[in-house]
Amino acid sequence: MVRQEGRAVLTEVESKAFLQGAGIPVAETRLATSRKEALALARELGFPAVVKVVSPQIIHKSDIGGVKVGLTNGAEVGRAYDQVLAAARTASPAATIHGVSIQRMASPGVEVIIGMTKDIQFGPVLMFGLGGVMVEVLKDVAFRIVPLTRRDARQMVREIKGFPILEGYRGQRGVDIPRLEQALLDLSAFLEKHDEVKELDLNPIFAYQDGILAVDARVILEEPAPVAGRG
Ligand code: ADP
Ligand code: MG
């Protein structure tokens, strides 16, 4: 349906659905197209809830006030619904708004990111780093060309400067490093099967002592070929 619309950017909800077969644990996320539906879905998925604006034109949702986390009851979800939609209309009046996404608030973990971009020479390249300032300010990331070997995945995780944070330091427990390595390998295999993916971002993935969970996803497809006999 996305391609029939001639659209390349998948929303968070569409990106997470697309990644279903990739083997990466993703926070269950549903689209609500009304305030009432937002409340019902929040009750179904459980509190605390997270509400985010869903629009193919709004790529950085929190930059425009389009993400509300830690909502503990229906009243807060209702207010967040109104707020994120109002913020989106103000920031991006021409944007197509699908509604809001509802998901449960994940427990805190170490935020990491996995991304994919296509290099003109090398094709798909996977990136791994720690989330937040570590990536944005310090550019502390590792890259490998798809397909990854086990050794690539192992090295990627270990070569970032922030690795001690993953390993655990000064009494802090470490995170599930083998599961992160597996996620890199699984994503590499998924991307080999999906050449139509132009860019991918799982930002953030929460890494825990035991397991990982992606709470945001963004997929951009290659520009679709023009549909014959139209336009
Ligand atoms: P964007 O990257 O488009 O601004 P995100 O979906 O990444 O929006 O949300 C912004 C931030 O909110 C995330 O980096 C994360 O810290 C937090 N967040 C998002 N979804 C969840 C969730 N399900 N549980 C806990 N925190 C979340
Ligand atoms: Mg994000």
Query: How many whole angstroms separate alpha carbon 164 and alpha carbon 169?
Result: 6
What is the per-residue pLDDT for 6? Answer: 81
What stretch(es) of the chain map to CATH 3.30.470.20?
110-221
99-126 burial: b if 16+ Cβ within 10 Å, else e: bbbbbbbbeebbbbbbbbebeeeeebbb
**Is 62 a pocket residue for ligand 1 (Cβ < 6 Å)?**
yes
**Is 145 a pocket residue for ligand 1 (Cβ < 6 Å)?**
no
What stretch(es) of the chain map to CATH 3.30.1490.20?
28-104
What does pTM read for this prediction? 0.94
What is the per-residue pLDDT for 8? Answer: 95
Q: How would DSSP label each residue in 205-222?
A: EEE-SS-EEE--EEEEEP
From first to last of its 231 residues, what are the pLDDT tens digits of the chain? 677 788 899 999 999 999 998 999 999 999 999 999 999 999 999 999 999 999 999 999 999 999 999 999 999 999 999 999 999 999 999 999 999 999 999 999 999 999 999 999 999 999 999 987 777 777 899 999 999 999 999 999 999 999 999 999 888 899 999 999 999 999 999 999 999 999 999 999 999 999 999 999 999 999 866 666 554
Q: 123: CA distance to ligand 2 center in Å?
A: 24
CA 85, chain centre distance (Å): 20
**Is 170 a pocket residue for ligand 1 (Cβ < 6 Å)?**
no
Take residue 186 and report the two structure tokens written for it. 């699984």
What is the per-residue pLDDT for 137? Answer: 75
Query: How many whole angstroms separate alpha carbon 2 and alpha carbon 9?
Result: 8
Pocket test for ligand 1, best of 63, 199, 215, 218 (most atoms within 8 A of CB): 215
Superfamily of structural domain 110-221: ATP-grasp fold, B domain (3.30.470.20)
What is the per-residue pLDDT for 231? Answer: 45
Can you name the residues that pair with 102 across neighbouring β-strands? 30, 51
Determine the CATH number of domain 28-104.
Answer: 3.30.1490.20
Number of the ligand 1 atom closest to the C-alpha atom of 203: 7
